[in-house]
Amino acid sequence: MSVRPSNLQELQDSGWKSRTVKEEIRSNFLAALSSRADLFPGIVGYENTVIPEISLALLAGHDMLFLGEKGQGKSRLMRQMSRFLDEAIPFLDLPGCPVHEDPFRPITSQGRRYVEENSPADVKIAWWPREQRYAERLAPGTKFADIIGEIDPAKLAAGTSMSAEDSLHFGLIPRMHRGLFAMNELPELDELVQVGLFNILEERDVQIRGYPIQFDLDVMILFSANPATYNRSGKVIPQLKDRIGSLIQTHYPDDRDAGIQIMEQECDVPLDGDVPVVVPWFMKQIVEEISRKARKSRYIDHQSGVSARFSIANYQTMIASARRRGAVLNEKPAVPRISDLGHLYSSSLGKLEIDLMSSHQMTERQVLDSVIADAIRSVFEEYVEQHGLQQISEIFAKGVKIEVGDMLPSSHYETLLKRVPAVWDKAFEVNASENPAMRASCAEFVLAGLYATEKISRSQRHGIVTYET
């Protein structure tokens, strides 16, 4: 519609028809499928697993539960559901009405009276935009009144009967009538509130303090949960579980390249600017591999998970460390090195939960050091296997002793690497032959890899790491 109707008469004449939220989403989602549009922009690695399951749930008209560990994009997926709503829908422009009433099917007594007592030309219409039709809530601390409602004492004091609809203060879910509501961390929701949700899912009506207020609520409800708590007996009432139409199981990226794509996509630190940063591919691989190794480490609590935010924060820290060096030493572009990973404690430790039963006497830092070393070893062995780095290794196998550090200039490495093997440019996919900062990064990678594979020894003192054979 070029000019949107502003009263009920114009809306009737326009041919607009009422649809439930789920009918609306189903229709728009089918159109998106037919046009081969990008259904969930920014969602990586779910093309053959999660997205097909969501597609079926939307077409089936199901409420959904997204089940997965932290950092698997559950909240982002829920928020993107609003993309399949109409651009805007009409509602009764009625001051004081707590919901956005369908002009053709009002559910409150106030809305019905307004339509019945006025001519269609006098019933005012406003439009509710898509971006306002989604609301979410975090379960911990959420009360019944927050999302369902409560008796309003002020209205009782004014003489309204407690059993009357007008005495209610509506919570978030009734206020999202004709929209989407999402509840994060469902198992942490108070049992009394879960019972209220069960009634909404079952009957689509609201019961507050024993008064059954019959509302034909039209809302799609979405939930998220962690498997460790969702599957624990007593955390979610069985009746509520039974009423959720589809359970969507999320997961971490299946391969490292997908993880790197997410990491780069979500990193909001620019690589250009006054001190530009160029990140070698092998350093991106190592940062993502640290997360992958952490998810498999017996020293880290698997039930808690290792979020994609772990990789993102570490990637940002590594870039920041390289940029600081570039600014101080006037090296442009700045190139991240293995020694920059020594600053990952600040961005890592708060995101890992150590398994106290398995880690024994190891500190959090020792666990992280072990994970980082394991990641470096895995990536280095892949390069050795793929490119045959014997020429490189030979340089460091002739009684060499070298100090490395995150604040040492790239020229420090020049005496060691007077001649760069031709295989470097091929193996590391960077201009190592021409760029001293890139050569320094490559050198640290090889040194760390040789140490991780027990080919050379390492000692550390005052932030300077010394490798020797």
Q: Are 99 and 198 in contact (CB under 8 A)?
A: no
Rounded to an integer, what distance in angstroms lies between the CA atom of residue 176 and that of residue 170? 10
Q: Which two tokens stand for residue 320?
A: 């920041």
Query: Which tens digits make up the pLDDT trace of 313-361?
Result: 999 999 999 999 999 999 999 999 999 999 999 999 888 888 766 656 7
CA-CA-CA-CA dihedral for 209, 212, 217, 223, to nearest 10: 40
Helix H or strand E encompassing 80: helix 74-80
Listed as own residue / partner, the contacts of 45-51 with beta carbons closer than 8 Å and 24 or more positions apart are 45/253, 45/254, 45/255, 45/258, 45/259, 45/261, 45/262, 46/73, 46/250, 49/251, 50/77, 50/248, 50/249, 50/250, 50/251
Tell me which residue of 178, 230, 174, 184 sits closest to 78, measured CA to CA: 184
Tell me which residue of 145, 247, 133, 134 sits closest to 186, measured CA to CA: 247
Query: Which tens digits make up the pLDDT trace of 424-468?
Result: 666 666 556 577 888 888 888 888 888 888 878 888 877 788 887
SS3 state of residue 222: strand
- Residue positions counted in the chain: 469
pLDDT of residue 392: 63
Query: Which tens digits make up the pLDDT trace of 19-55?
Result: 999 999 999 999 999 999 999 999 999 999 999 999 9
Tell me which residue of 165, 27, 39, 193 sits closest to 109, measured CA to CA: 165
Taking the whole predicted model, whether its pTM rises above 0.75 is answered as: yes
For the stretch 21-53, what's the b/e string if a residue is b when 16 or more beta carbons lie within 10 angstroms of its beta carbon?
Answer: bbebbbebbeebeeeeeebbeebbbbeeebbeb
Domains identified in the chain and CATH numbers = 8-249 (3.40.50.300), 256-468 (no CATH)
Q: Within the chain, what is the greatest distance between any pair of CA atoms?
A: 96
Q: What is the 3-state secondary structure (H, E, C) of 258-295?
A: HHHHHHHHHCCCCCCCCCCECCCHHHHHHHHHHHHHHH
The DSSP bridge pattern shows strands 401-404 and 464-468 to be antiparallel
Query: Which tens digits make up the pLDDT trace of 252-282?
Result: 999 999 999 999 999 989 999 999 999 999 9
Mean pLDDT over all residues of the chain?
87
Helix H or strand E encompassing 13: helix 8-14
Query: Which tens digits make up the pLDDT trace of 120-141?
Result: 999 999 999 999 999 999 999 8
Tell me which residue of 352, 343, 449 sits closest to 396, measured CA to CA: 449
pLDDT of residue 59: 97
Span 210-221, mean pLDDT? 77
Q: Are 68 and 250 in contact (CB under 8 A)?
A: yes
Q: Are 6 and 164 in contact (CB under 8 A)?
A: no
* Tokens 């001293």 belong to residue: 436
DSSP H helical segments within 141-235, as ranges?
144-147, 153-157, 172-175, 191-203, 227-230
Helix H or strand E encompassing 370: helix 364-387
Residue partners of 32: CB distance under 8 A and separation at least 6: 39, 84
pLDDT of residue 210: 58
Q: Are 107 and 215 in contact (CB under 8 A)?
A: yes
